[in-house]
Structure 1
Amino acid sequence: MRPTSEPGPTPGPRTGARRRVPAIDVLRGIAILGTLASNIWIFTVGLESWESEPLWLTELVSSLPNGKFLGLLTIMFGIGLEIQRQAALRAGRSWPGTYPVRAGLLFLDGVVNYVFVIQFDVLRAYAFTGLIVAFLLLTSERVQLWIAALFVALHVGLLVINVEGTGVDRSMTGDESMAPADVGSGGYWSTVRNVLDNFWVGFSPGSEFTTIVVMGVAMFLLGARLYRAGVFEPAGRVLRRWLMVVGLLVALPVDLVLRAQVLDLPLVAVQASARYGTAAVVAFGILALVAEVYQHRPVGWSGRRLADVGAMALSCYMLQNILGVIFSHTVAPAVELSPVGALVATGALFLGISGFLVVFSGLWLRRFGRGPFELFWSWCYRTITRT
């Protein structure tokens, strides 16, 4: 499969210069803040006394966003990849061209995030997945759909094997084992050394890296296909409605039943099935719902704030993790709260970090066209490719 300047699939509804679709940046912003809602509990795990019984409300609130916004972020990466492909073709450049350089830089960014910031980094997996899918986008629509179906089947099979095995990597479930540090056994630098000592564990077959790569190939391809099919266009109304039916009326109730733990299934099986199974399908419904909303109304004030976060998605993702880790190593070890107090503090931290990201991104974009991490990343890319 050689790089080519001719597109594999049909470019979709856009034939001229691409206009910026506001809903895409809004969705990226929702995905970034949604992943924070999923991960915020890891940063505050040290607030609550280990002798306390967890509140049912805490378990409910922490489980609801888990996986849905990871899925949405994964879809948006696939859409972004297709946008880059179409831009390259319009400019007369071959595809994938220099995209492997972009993927390599994103992977290095993810490694830094994984070692020095947080262990549930997704950038490494997205970079590896993007490199694979960049070449798969050279194939026809039919081949891409068959490959997506194959990886969905592989993902489900691996999910079943992992949750039934005795050596399940519990980081797959998003539980406390992914906490940024064991603050009681040496603090931050002790954690960094531990990550380096066990570096390759984060890439093992049972790790979240592998799970996201397998799931991501399918979701990247489906995201790219939806973009070409006009999911953000007025003519895509029927497609959006079908996605909302499947994602919100079918998958969401199933997801809620799984998370309610009313089925006689092992907890780890339920958590993994929801996080990487039903939640991923719900994400397609969320995408369609937001796309439909902005077909009928302007973005508005709240939408613009989310779009600012989405326009600086990489910077906001990195910053929310950095701020969370700082909290987990400073405030969290110094206090011990009741379950109710820990729940309130977690909510306050989420609102505080989210508010900071919204304000910071809005102010930054008044002066610069890209976020700080994006600017540095772009400089590295231009330096390497001499463009």
Structure 2
Amino acid sequence: MGGRIASLDVLRGVAILGTFGTNVWAFTHPRGVTGFLADFGSGAGDTATALLQMITNGKFLGLLSIMFGIGLAIQHRSAVRRGQRWPGWYLWRSALLLFEGLLHYVLVFEFDVLMFYAVVSVLVAYLVGRGPRVQVAWMAVLGAVNLAVVGLITLALLTGGTTIGDPGFVLTTDSWWGGVRARVEYFAVFRAEGFLVLPLSGLLFLAGVRLFQAGALEDSARGARIQRRLVVWGLGLGVPLNVTTTLAGGDWFAVDRYVCAPLVAFGLLGAITALVNRMRAEPGPVRRGVTAVGRSAMSCYIGQNLLASALCYPWGLGLAQRWGHLGPWFTGAVWLLVAALLVVGASWWMRRFPRGPVETVWDWAYRAPRRRSVAA
């Protein structure tokens, strides 16, 4: 499209920093991830805390999923223009992403999303080149499955047939190795949500593909119309619904996270894109920093979880046990600190290198077998 899309890296950067706004609550709980889950499921905490958690819960993960679909559509268009077979080597990218996600889960963080993105990307890779009718049909099926899953979970919660939150064990964070062993032992528990939201992820990936193909990121009259519609539906409708389901309590958790939050994500996409496209002045330090985070998204996604673990867990500085009782104040401070470190670090790195550190290793691993096949 004649160069980088102005809003693309900003959107990725916002999604990465916003996703950490969800994860940080688990890191800063005095009893760690399992303590956070137990309190969340029991409805512990005041209304103010619930509303603060609502700001990020599910929305930026939804935005990240949409952005992944947009990235896949861009790669498909590039491959078609070069006359390359599709999906071809893209499937190797998915395999690498699956391996990277597995390492991230085992070594760093319980709620990694890269593994599930890798699985969904294989399906969407075969659909990205199909016609609009096929794509929309798949979106309808995936959306229906997601609503069915959400409906069953909500019905079970309302009737007392199940509960959310307390996993029934304590995940120790006294040592890094103890956390690794626990994540391996309780793999099925911590990976359960990812399997439940595979239909939603597929829907959001395909929505990203459709939005890109429709010109939603363009700085044009067509793009502006799509952006306005996204804001009206995503924010005008999604935010009131999101507030309602949040205040309704834990029984509406699934509707809140897997229906309302993704709807708000589309509104964020439209609003941020429109804002960036209207900025004619030279980008300031904040926008440059967020852009740098977006250009090194995988490095920052992994890096933020590493930093939070080192700051909050007992095997690191153990700040959560000392200050976790302060609740949102401590959580907000940790988010600000880690976000600032990411913005400054990414800005410094991207001024000197074309890719983030994880992206550099990942690109080498992606290209290595291709070079060998060409040489052979």
TM normalised by structure 2 equals 0.88
Q: Deviations over 1:210-256 (max 9, x none)?
A: 13321111111111111111111212222111111110101111111
Structure 2 match to 1:300: 283
Q: Distance in 2 between matches of 1:345 and 1:377?
A: 34
Amino acid at match of 2:142: F
Residues 338, 243 of structure 1: CA spacing in aligned structure 2 closer, same or farther, 3 A cutoff?
A: closer
**1:348 aligned to 333, 338, 341, which one?**
333
Structure 2 match to 1:20: 4
Q: Distance in 1 between matches of 2:201 and 2:290?
A: 24
Query: What's the CA shift for 1:163?
Result: 3.6
Query: What's the CA shift for 1:202?
Result: 4.5
- How do 1:146-161 residues align onto structure 2 when only pairs under 5 Å count? 146-161=137-152
**2:242 aligned to 252, 255, 258, which one?**
255
Residues 360, 134 of structure 1: CA spacing in aligned structure 2 closer, same or farther, 3 A cutoff?
A: same
Percent identity over the alignment? Answer: 35
- How do 1:124-163 residues align onto structure 2 when only pairs under 5 Å count? 124-163=115-154
Q: For the Cα contact (< 8 Å) 1:244–1:289, is it kept in 2?
A: yes
Query: What's the CA shift for 1:47?
Result: 7.1
Structure 2 match to 1:384: 369
Structure 2 match to 1:238: 225
Structure 2 match to 1:275: 257
Structure 2 match to 1:9: none
Q: Distance in 2 between matches of 1:37 and 1:178?
A: 25
Q: Deviations over 1:252-309 (max 9, x none)?
A: 1111111122xxxxx4431221111111011011101111112221362122211100
Q: Distance in 2 between matches of 1:112 and 1:371?
A: 18
Q: Does 1:284 align with 2:266?
A: yes
More helix by share: 2
Residues 379, 221 of structure 1: CA spacing in aligned structure 2 closer, same or farther, 3 A cutoff?
A: same
Amino acid at match of 2:360: L
Q: For the Cα contact (< 8 Å) 1:113–1:121, is it kept in 2?
A: yes
Residues 160, 334 of structure 1: CA spacing in aligned structure 2 closer, same or farther, 3 A cutoff?
A: closer
Q: Distance in 2 between matches of 1:179 and 1:124?
A: 24
Structure 2 match to 1:197: 185
Residues 244, 297 of structure 1: CA spacing in aligned structure 2 closer, same or farther, 3 A cutoff?
A: same
RMSD: 2.5
Q: Deviations over 1:17-49 (max 9, x none)?
A: x42112010000000000011111100001799
Q: Distance in 1 between matches of 2:223 and 2:170?
A: 42
Query: What's the CA shift for 1:315?
Result: 0.2
TM normalised by structure 1 equals 0.85
**1:209 aligned to 194, 203, 206, which one?**
194
Q: Distance in 1 between matches of 2:56 and 2:351?
A: 31
Q: Distance in 2 between matches of 1:127 and 1:178?
A: 29
- How do 1:171-182 residues align onto structure 2 when only pairs under 5 Å count? 181-182=171-172
Q: For the Cα contact (< 8 Å) 2:154–2:253, is it kept in 1?
A: no
Q: Distance in 1 between matches of 2:190 and 2:23?
A: 18
Residues 63, 180 of structure 1: CA spacing in aligned structure 2 closer, same or farther, 3 A cutoff?
A: farther
How many aligned residue pairs are there?
Answer: 355
Query: What's the CA shift for 1:162?
Result: 2.9
